Amino acid sequence: MSLSLIRTEIQTILLGVTGVGTKVHDYVRWAKTIEDYLSLFRSDGLIKGWEITRDSTAEIKFTLNSNLRTHTMVIRGRYSLDDSTATEKTFQDVIEAIAAAFKANPTLNGKAFNSDPLQIDSVALAMFGSVLCHVCELRLLVEEEVQR
């Protein structure tokens, strides 16, 4: 178990969720121009992208020879808004599908000791460059056992 394996497995699980798309980045992306930045999240002509990062890690004694690290992993999503196709409902359904995928796989395919249910910290609208998007911030607490 390691942060790197956990982060990669979160990415893999997200990529397997219907509606997420193919633009799932396992780190926070940056670019020099807004056009280049938007291209990192554009798929099929739409903004449909995700970023995964670690917000914090707490560590406690667990057994005689190991500690338990709890990583607060943050997943940020963006999805182009189109009222005529009810993308609000689509985006909310994608978020629910993501939550269900993690609920069904608390050990992240053996890459983690355990994880808590996914928390949906915020769902809102925001401009992403010149594109109005649905945005969300999801939080997943992931436990990793490490040897002392």
| Dist CA 9 CA 107 (whole Å) | 10
Q: Looking at domain 3-147, which CATH architecture does it have?
A: 2-Layer Sandwich (3.30)
Q: Is 22 helix (H, G, I), strand (E, B) or coil?
A: coil
| Dist CA 24 CA 118 (whole Å) | 17
Percent of the chain past pLDDT 70, that is, above it, reads 100
For the entire predicted model, the pTM comes to 0.94
Of 137, 111, 113, nearest to 126 (Cα)? Answer: 137
Q: Across residues 60-88, what is the average pLDDT? A: 97
- Contact 69/58 with Cβ under 8 angstroms? yes
pLDDT at 3 over 90: yes
Of 42, 1, 3, 13, nearest to 138 (Cα)? Answer: 13
Residues in a beta bridge with 8: none
Report domain extents, the chain: 3-147
- Contact 67/59 with Cβ under 8 angstroms? yes
Model confidence at 59, pLDDT cuts 50, 70, 90, reads very high
| Dist CA 91 CA 93 (whole Å) | 5
Instruction: Classify residue 137 by burial, with Cβ atoms within 10 Å: 0-12, 13-18, 19+.
Output: middle
Output the pLDDT for position 44. 81
Output the pLDDT for position 105. 98
Output the pLDDT for position 122. 98
Output the pLDDT for position 34. 87
